[in-house]
Structure 1
């Protein structure tokens, strides 16, 4: 798939602290793609993502959502992995997937370990349900599943890693890992057993694509939150 001509103007609806939003920001920055940053405050007035006007853009009432005009129509893509895949198709260089089919699959496997197997279990809505409906300690729940997911990620990456998760080039695996480690620290997950992941994180955070998109550097960031 080639990029439409002229290149579409992109708007990213996102929230500074959302790890899924950070994934999309990293991918855009890595590929050098300009976009308009549209904040969606997940906490204000019960959550701006729940308003009818935003639900019309994203029926799941989640962030991020990438919006653009193509062929005279406004189009939107939500879910961070779908956004990253779209960007990979439109802007193939620099790539976020290895050329080798096996390594491409492994990079996707690592990404999905977080996207499907870890982050959803510590999402705000899930934790609220655990606390309010089940009467359980939501933070202990989150720490358990995040620690388990990251341990599985490290076990897989240990056979593939170079400077980054899969060899010596940034891939989609790194794009998902770094925001999840950010979440893990907020949840007070013990990262001591995850030295490979924190080493990779340090290599990623030396790159502008990760630095400039860090939650604390976004226009809607709340100091000290």
Structure 2
């Protein structure tokens, strides 16, 4: 069978999620960098894989998959022994709710293309960009912190094994720190992030371990 190929970018939150999933499930794969800073996501080759002109795309099992959460759910459904989603419908709903709060609420408004356009319309610059990021990341993560304080979390976002929710949380906290967000009021989240990053599958997917594409 052809070895899977992940088309990603080192600092892409969505790509980061999928890297963790592949590592946790022990899916050996190759990686092809799509350099977002050079606009490679808009090239014909990438658009053929991903009509949205985004990353990641995962070539696996004879198909090309897009959208990080859909990819993660596919991997969960097709790889034996996966615990990325829990066993019961109620638990799966909770994991999906936390995942969506990050990937569908925080991430879209903090996408660099969205922010750059908004700042341009405001006639702003770097200060306005940082303010935007800090405002919306803080607002979103404050809500997630409350979701994680409902008594149903364990060592991780849901119980004592990483799930899709943790795969969303860790990249978002990486971005939060990158933009100088104050996480003091989010101790539960910080604890979970630290526990995740003790696991090699998470550590190996970290942008600092991947690094930018070679020139």
- In structure 1, the partner of 2:200 is 208
- In structure 1, the partner of 2:74 is 86
Aligned CA-pair RMSD: 1.4
Gap change, CA 1:185 and 1:221, over 3 Å in 2 = farther
- In structure 1, the partner of 2:103 is 115
Using the alignment, how far apart are the partners of 1:134 and 1:34 within structure 2? Answer: 45
Question: SS where residue 158 of structure 1 aligns?
Answer: coil
Using the alignment, how far apart are the partners of 2:80 and 2:13 within structure 1? Answer: 23
> TM-score, normalised to structure 1's length?
0.89
Using the alignment, how far apart are the partners of 2:14 and 2:196 within structure 1? Answer: 17
Once the two structures are overlaid, the 10-residue window that deviates more, 130-139 or 108-117, is 130-139
Point out the structure with the larger helix share.
2
Question: SS where residue 36 of structure 2 aligns?
Answer: coil
Is contact 1:98–1:171 with CA below 8 Å preserved after alignment? yes
- After superposition, give the CA deviation of every residue in 1:115-149 in whole Å (9 maximum; x if it has no partner): 10101111111111111123241221111111111
Runs of 5+ unmatched residues, structure 2: none
Is contact 2:35–2:213 with CA below 8 Å preserved after alignment? no
Gap change, CA 1:51 and 1:31, over 3 Å in 2 = same
Using the alignment, how far apart are the partners of 1:96 and 1:185 within structure 2? Answer: 25
Q: CA deviation at 1:94?
A: 3.0
Runs of 5+ unmatched residues, structure 1: 1-5
Residue from 141, 144, 148 that aligns with 1:153: 144
Q: Kindly tell me the number of residue pairs found equivalent between the two proteins.
A: 210
Question: SS where residue 49 of structure 2 aligns?
Answer: coil
- In structure 2, the partner of 1:24 is 18
